[in-house]
Structure 1
Amino acid sequence: MSVPPPPEPIMGARLLFSLDPAVSHLNHGSFGAVPIVAQRAQQRLRDEMEADPLRFFTQGLVDRITHTRRHLAGFLGADPDGTALTTNATTGVAVVLQSLGLRPGDEVLTTDHGYGAVEFSVRRECRRTGATHRVLPVPLAATDEEVVQIVRSGLRPGRTRLLVVDQLTSGTARLFPVAAIVGVAREHGVSVLVDAAHAPGMLPATVQSIGADFWVGNLHKWGYAPRGTAVLVVAPPWRTRIEPLVVSWEQDAGFPGQLEWQATMDYTAWLSAPAGLYTLRSLGVDRVRAHNAALAAYGQRVVGDALGVPPTGLPDPGGPTVAMRVIPLPAGLATTIDAARALRARIAERLAVQVAVNAFDGRGWLRLCGQVYNSPDEYERLAVRLPTLLAQR
């Protein structure tokens, strides 16, 4: 079966970024890439801050943060009064976990697709409180109905206090039916935290339509914001129970102000985040989503074909705007976290290509992303050179 043609490029989009042209950046999902307009907006804010630090931090900064929060919440379809800016999704998860008041006998349930740092945070909080952490295995090829049934069967009413589930998994690039999962959990009286690290900017679903108790998402990936920009959205019943990881001068303001004010933190990433969204909107949000998803799918087929993987062996993420795809690596390669990291570094060093490599279910997986600054020939060059590198074990 022939590989379908790549999407038409978005002309001029590559010039909006300052990426090294000598490197193929096929891993937007890890750390993103900040458009030049957002970089300059942040630098202007830093210049303002350094010109008069006392004025910057004491005259109107809280109001500027509030204005930014409302702008970002509007883009995400979230309640601004239930949205707090934070530095990344992992920090938001930690805030939720330490605000739950877990006790011995309680349980936190995750899936085996969960992000590593989130899993670390869950384990630590369970060790600290005496709660239990349990992991649900979910086959990569499971249908949405099967995923919902696995979750339904895994819930333990009266014991499971929190279910943590990814909206789009990082390591396996799988879209989960989070709205349906939230509905099932609610039937059983279980709270849900949706880890939506990759959702803002990529996925069209609004936060309110999902209905989770907690939702965390990064703007510094697919939303083009400077790094260190994320949001934690909290349902009304929980807002008075949320506590920041560090108490500072806005503690008496309650949520979300108490969570956002962290003394002398550099707030310029947050304040310049709307400039990133401006870039996305200028290119056309729907246009960018469709282009990126189609380009990632093209890259998956081209590289998969070079590695001898038939189309039926390439996982479908399950959504028309998912701009990340995974490809199974030859058996025995990158089957552990350390081996996956080593292979990623070798690909970067030898081929000048940035990709993600993850281990899942005893196998290594190559993850490719599609972004407006990428071109089809970058995936084609990787397809030509990668087999030889993988053969040099």
Structure 2
Amino acid sequence: MSAGDPPPPIPGARLLFSLDPGIAYLNHGSFGAVPIGVQRAQQRLRDEVERNPMTFFGSTGLMDRIVHTRRHIAQFLGADPDGSALVPNATAGVSMALQTVRLQPADEVLLTDHGYGSNELAAKRQCRRDGATARTVPLPLAASDAEVVSRIKEALRPGRTKLLIVDQITSPTAKVLPVREIVAAAREHDIPVLVDAAHAPGTSPLEVDSIGADFWVGNLHKWAFAPRGTALLSVAPQWRRRIEPLVVSWEQDEGFPVNVEFQGTLDYTAWLAAPTGLFTMRTLGVETIRRHNAELASYGQRVVGAALGLAPTDLPDPGAPEAAMRILPLPAGVATTKPEATALRQHIADKLAIEVGMNAWGGRCWLRLSAQIYNRAEEYDRLAERLPGLLTSHRQ
């Protein structure tokens, strides 16, 4: 089976990163990769801090710089800058939203089985504290947008469901969910929605405010070339007076978003360097990057799938043409638990010098491939050539 032609490389893109050239890094979705120019911008900021920490942290100019950065990022994402806050990651934003809804005994938080694992852990912890319950609605991997909305709508319990958590792009299954339609369905019953959009900034055309979610949080350090530890939490007007930071600091009385953003001696250099990452994207062309990554991820899925003997119908459709991550099912019985999947991922890294994502989901192990501008078609070809033999030896 032919895998078709991959997209042409973006000239010079590979030289923008400091990744080890001896490793095929096909797992951008996990931790991202920071361009060299952004690394240098952050280092200059760190040097500034160390020249005079009192001036950096003690002057009123720090908050002005944070606010300016927040406005720049919010504009890129189509979010209200006055209703948004910079946070370390999507997980922090999820925990803030969970504590904001103020659950009561007999209340519940509804999640899907495609959600990020730490979100489920956070929901269960908050529910234990408040005497509430966390419940999961299963969604078939091949479900259409209409079926996804229908299943979630049927699972809602008006009067009892106090928060619905959905992923915009799921981590274990790389599926793009119709969040705007899901939010509208929940709104019919006045049920708040938290959208975990960890993978959305940089991959999807975004107008956050038009989604209509009560809470939306997305990482900039996965696909928008920001240093790690950079995310934006957007909060609907009716919740802004109630949201609280996870840690109280000196700007507490200023209210949201400043009380969330100022966290004492936090390393703010990641946030302040994030606009350099957006500048890098704009210089190369945001749409050019998205198109390249989506086409290369699709190529990788096809060529590796063919090597594993999978038919085109066996390759899960991510649900959106701009998806830069794709998954493939591994043979039945291979690495069906999280520890086994982690061990297999490490085995592939050690033996093949190829980094991939690996998740146990739905009783099956799924290989997740990412594509970024530093990747080349031959890296997926190499995985396709060597993976079948490695899987055979791994099972023996």
TM class, shorter-length: over 0.9
2:74 maps to what in 1? Answer: 73
- The answer as to whether partners of 1:114 and 1:166 remain within 8 angstroms in 2 is yes
How does 1:268-279 map onto structure 2 within 5 Å?
A: 268-279=269-280
Matches within 5 A, 1:1-393: 1-59=1-59, 60-392=61-393, 393=395
Name the CA distance, whole Å, in 2 between partners of 1:339 and 1:35. Answer: 32
- Residues 95-118 of structure 1: CA deviation (Å, up to 9, x unaligned): 111121111011100000000111
Q: Following the alignment from structure 2 to structure 1, what is the Cα–Cα distance between the partners of residues 3 and 24?
A: 21
List structure 1 segments (4+ residues) > 4 angstroms apart after TM superposition: none
What secondary structure, in the 3-state scheme, does the structure 2 residue paired with 1:164 have?
strand
The alignment yields a C-alpha RMSD, in angstroms, of: 0.6
Q: TM-score, normalised by structure 1?
A: 0.99
Q: How far is the alpha carbon of 1:2 from its aligned partner?
A: 2.2
SS of 1:46's equivalent in the other structure is helix
- In 2, the alpha carbon distance for the partners of 1:189 and 1:67 equals 34
Rounded to whole Å, the distance in 2 between the matches of 1:381 and 1:338 is 25
Q: Is the Cα contact below 8 Å between 1:179 and 1:210 reproduced in 2?
A: yes
Identity within the alignment, %: 66
CA distance in 1, matches of 2:72, 2:225: 14
* Deviations 1:130-149, CA, capped at 9 Å, x for gaps: 11100000000000000000
1:194–1:216: 8 Å Cα contact kept in structure 2?
yes
Runs (5+) with no aligned partner, structure 2:
none
Provide the secondary structure at the position in 2 that maps to 1:240.
coil
Between the aligned partners of 1:107 and 1:160, the Cα distance in structure 2 is: 5
The alignment partner of 2:238 has SS state of helix
Code of the residue aligned with 2:295 in structure 1: it is: A
The offset of 1:4, in angstroms, is 1.4
- How far apart are the structure 2 equivalents of 1:269 and 1:210? 27
* Residue 189 (structure 1) shift: 1.1
Secondary structure, in 3 states, of the residue corresponding to 1:71? helix
State the distance in 2 between where 1:63 and 1:318 align. 40
**For 1:203-222, what per-residue CA distance to the aligned partner results, in whole angstroms no more than 9, with x for missing partners?**
00310121100000000010
- Indicate if the aligned counterparts of 1:334 and 1:357 stay in contact, CA closer than 8 A: no
Q: Equivalents in 1 of 2:226, 2:134: separation in Å? A: 33
Please tell me whether the aligned partners of residues 168 and 176 of structure 1 are also in contact (alpha carbons under 8 angstroms): yes
Q: Which letter maps to 1:23?
A: I
Q: For 2:308 and 2:117, how far apart are their aligned partners in 1?
A: 27
Please tell me the residue identity of whatever aligns with 2:266: M
Q: Which structure 1 residue ranges, 5 or more long, are not aligned?
A: none
Cα separation, 2, equivalents of 1:126 and 1:338 = 26
One-letter amino acid of the counterpart of residue 342, structure 2: R
CA distance in structure 2 between the partners assigned to 1:390 and 1:82 by the alignment: 49
Residue 14 of structure 1, CA deviation: 0.2
